Structure 1
Amino acid sequence: MTQIVRLLRRRLPPPTLLLLALCSLLPLPGRAAEPAAWPTRAIRIVVPFPAGGYADNLARVIATDMSNTFGQPVLVDNRPGAGGNIGADLVAKSAPDGYTVVMGTIGTHAVNPWIYPRMPFNAATDFAPVAFVADAESVLVVNPAVPARSVQELIALARARPGDLTFASGGPGTTGHLAGELFKAVTHTFITHIPYKGNVPALTDLVAGQVSLSFATLQPALPFITAGKLIPLATLGTSRAAALPAVPTLAEAGLKNFEVRNWTGMLAPAGTPAAITQKLAQEVDKALSAPAVRQTMAAQGLSYTKMGPEAFGQFIQSESAKWAAVVKAANVKAD
């Protein structure tokens, strides 16, 4: 080797020697450079809704766990507006480096694309699914004055009095609205939709008897159920709610394959490396599998199902197709 170097020094001018020295520092063909360590700085979890909701609360649980694991700050950034589209769009247009993710929902990724005439992002192609986070369980409740104490009795009443019964929702295109439209289609009944600006005023009027029933999120409805001011007929998930173990699911009540999952999950910008989305998914599962967290979630009407990037992506596709059909049949438009 020494003889070769001496020979080169005699035959090659100094600039050529410099070029050879620089080339010796480059990686050899076929050897990929080692990926940079991740994370090396703060991670941001965008919640496209105001603080205090279940997506926000769970984002903070996950952020705390991730921060402890990664040794980096994990910040929750609330960006509400346009049914979640503003926050989701921010993440869709962020760098695909794993430092910005969003708590997407049934709204942002399975409903909004079908009810908004113009979307700022493509829900199907602008995101890399990371992990399912939670279902906010829903329940079919009636005002005590409604003479029905089972789902079948409610269906018979609605068929006998088409249009007389009314159902309240938190607004056009919300999960409560779409659940009602799906119920009408499956049972061949006509129940009048009464939209409100939020779940709280909808439940307030339901308790007061201004409307007949609602497909309500369990958490805000539970106090009224406990007090006997609302009667639960069925829950809308795949299994009975831990908070209402005596109440059957709609499937158990005779409506096979009727399932409404008011879900949220984590997504990253499209193009985020798979190694990073897998790492994020592992942290989501670790945070939400903690016994204390699961117990708190159950008490609040929230349930967790483990889904990594691939399974969550398939779930979103099926949800989008399902609600596209309901939206089209009921001609639902964004408010």
Structure 2
Amino acid sequence: MMRKYFVALAIAGAICPSAHAQTYPSKPITLVVPFAPGGTVNLMGRLLANHMSEALGQPVIVENKPGGGGSIGANVVAKAPADGYTLLLATMGQQSIQPLLTKNLPYDAAKDFAPVALFSTVPNVLAVSVDTPASNVAELVEYARQNPGKLNMASAGIGSVNHLTGELFMFRSGARFEHVPYRGAGPATAELLSGQVQVLFANLPNVLAYVKPGKVRVLAVASEKRSPAIPDVPTLAEAGVKDAVVESWYGVMAPAGTSAQVIAKLQDTVIGIANDKALIAQLAEQGAVPYPGTSADLARLSDEETGRWKRIIESAKIQTN
């Protein structure tokens, strides 16, 4: 009898992950967005969550956990049960940059997450307040050189993508701005609109709505090609600043140890959403584009970006903490 009991236990243990995958999800899922409401990361997270809810038949609830350049929210997911019900909207900044700048993160970015899928990408842009005395990149660089300390550069936080994009720009151009970090791109953009800061390297969706009304000026796009959303705006290379391409990507990660079956289901769901025509149209309205990729694609991209930013951080002599 005891032998039969242990055999039954072994069989139950073997089929349990498969049974879980077949019934998953059976309750609401939390998608942790590691930045404040109002920014591009939040926008991408809510777009994805809405479509995931429809595809999976369960609510996908966005929970904003800002701070620490994305590390606070990432830590929540790293410490969550590996059951597929707590997910992270992963960003290039949080996954590939922050670990290079912060020595004592409470998690290991390379080991404590299971990559799920890539979702979208957006170009970064150089935006300035309307009262900034520069109508193009060359004038901005010259003014910054002639007036050190007069131009403040906002960011979504120390180590965020827009912070590092600004540092890269300063390294390549010779301009100097005073860095002013905020707890997210939303607050940083609000300060740009009010004129409290003069410069912001932002994800395009974060400032696009303010371009046509003339509330902000975008001087350049930090991408290989011009953005279809603002085709008259030159790339940084066209404006004279070479080797400063930064396009932000977004994906989904789960806690390490999440079953392969659940990861596969989530991967197929996210890729299907990224290929959906309705979603593609919604992204285009924001200046973003779909970027579907597998779990393996996300893992590879994270590693490549870590190596790339390590070289940039070292060459620009950006301090770590």
Amino acid at match of 1:62: L
Which of 6, 10, 19 is 1:36 aligned to? 19
Query: Match for residue 96 of structure 2?
Result: 110
Preserved contact between residue 70 and residue 93 of structure 2 (Cα < 8 Å): yes
* Deviation at residue 52 of structure 1 after TM alignment: 4.9
Moved more, 113-122 or 193-202: 193-202
* Deviation at residue 90 of structure 1 after TM alignment: 2.1
Q: Write the mapping of 1:48-67 to structure 2, written as runs, cut at 5 A.
A: 48-67=34-53
Which secondary structure state, in structure 2, belongs to the residue aligned with residue 275 of structure 1?
A: helix
Query: Match for residue 195 of structure 1?
Result: 180
Amino acid at match of 2:318: N
Query: Match for residue 245 of structure 1?
Result: 231
Which secondary structure state, in structure 1, belongs to the residue aligned with residue 267 of structure 2?
A: helix
Preserved contact between residue 225 and residue 232 of structure 1 (Cα < 8 Å): yes
- Tell me the alpha carbon deviations over residues 149-178 of structure 1, each in whole angstroms, 9 at most, x when there is no partner: 4435545x2686373663411243332221
* Deviation at residue 275 of structure 1 after TM alignment: 3.4
Moved more, 161-170 or 121-130: 161-170
Which secondary structure state, in structure 2, belongs to the residue aligned with residue 110 of structure 1?
A: helix
| CA distance in structure 2 between the aligned counterparts of 1:75 and 1:223, rounded to whole angstroms | 26
- Note closer, same or farther for the CA distance 1:254–1:132 as it changes in structure 2 (3 Å cut): farther
Query: Match for residue 33 of structure 2?
Result: 47
Which secondary structure state, in structure 1, belongs to the residue aligned with residue 291 of structure 2?
A: coil
Query: Match for residue 259 of structure 2?
Result: 273
Query: Match for residue 169 of structure 1?
Result: 154
| CA distance in structure 2 between the aligned counterparts of 1:258 and 1:208, rounded to whole angstroms | 27
Which secondary structure state, in structure 2, belongs to the residue aligned with residue 137 of structure 1?
A: strand
Q: Write the mapping of 1:82-161 to structure 2, written as runs, cut at 5 A.
A: 82-143=68-129, 148-152=134-138, 154-155=140-141, 157=142, 161=146
- Note closer, same or farther for the CA distance 1:20–1:195 as it changes in structure 2 (3 Å cut): closer
Query: Match for residue 231 of structure 1?
Result: 217
Q: Write the mapping of 1:267-306 to structure 2, written as runs, cut at 5 A.
A: 267-306=253-292
Amino acid at match of 1:234: A
Amino acid at match of 1:331: I
Preserved contact between residue 167 and residue 180 of structure 1 (Cα < 8 Å): no
Root mean square deviation, CA, Å: 3.4
2:311 maps to 1:331: no
Which secondary structure state, in structure 2, belongs to the residue aligned with residue 306 of structure 1?
A: strand
| CA distance in structure 2 between the aligned counterparts of 1:245 and 1:200, rounded to whole angstroms | 24
Which secondary structure state, in structure 1, belongs to the residue aligned with residue 249 of structure 2?
A: strand
Structure 2 gaps of 5+ residues are none
Q: TM-score, normalised by structure 2?
A: 0.80
Q: Which has the larger radius of gyration?
A: 1
Q: Write the mapping of 1:302-313 to structure 2, written as runs, cut at 5 A.
A: 302-313=288-299
The number of equivalent residue pairs is: 312
Which secondary structure state, in structure 1, belongs to the residue aligned with residue 90 of structure 2?
A: strand
| CA distance in structure 2 between the aligned counterparts of 1:165 and 1:200, rounded to whole angstroms | 23
- Tell me the alpha carbon deviations over residues 103-141 of structure 1, each in whole angstroms, 9 at most, x when there is no partner: 122332122223334211011111111112233432113
Which secondary structure state, in structure 2, belongs to the residue aligned with residue 49 of structure 1?
A: coil
Structure 1 gaps of 5+ residues are 1-17
Q: TM-score, normalised by structure 1?
A: 0.77
Which secondary structure state, in structure 2, belongs to the residue aligned with residue 131 of structure 1?
A: strand
| CA distance in structure 1 between the aligned counterparts of 2:310 and 2:145, rounded to whole angstroms | 29
Amino acid at match of 2:308: K
Preserved contact between residue 177 and residue 193 of structure 1 (Cα < 8 Å): no
- Tell me the alpha carbon deviations over residues 291-331 of structure 1, each in whole angstroms, 9 at most, x when there is no partner: 22222222223322112111111111122223334444343
- Note closer, same or farther for the CA distance 1:252–1:312 as it changes in structure 2 (3 Å cut): farther
Preserved contact between residue 61 and residue 287 of structure 1 (Cα < 8 Å): no
Amino acid at match of 1:244: I
Moved more, 117-126 or 283-292: 283-292
Preserved contact between residue 144 and residue 150 of structure 2 (Cα < 8 Å): no
* Deviation at residue 246 of structure 1 after TM alignment: 1.8
| CA distance in structure 1 between the aligned counterparts of 2:177 and 2:267, rounded to whole angstroms | 41
| CA distance in structure 2 between the aligned counterparts of 1:84 and 1:164, rounded to whole angstroms | 28
Preserved contact between residue 173 and residue 332 of structure 1 (Cα < 8 Å): no
Amino acid at match of 1:119: L
Amino acid at match of 1:321: G
Moved more, 113-122 or 33-42: 33-42
Preserved contact between residue 140 and residue 234 of structure 1 (Cα < 8 Å): yes
Query: What is the percentage of aligned positions where both structures have the same residue?
Result: 34
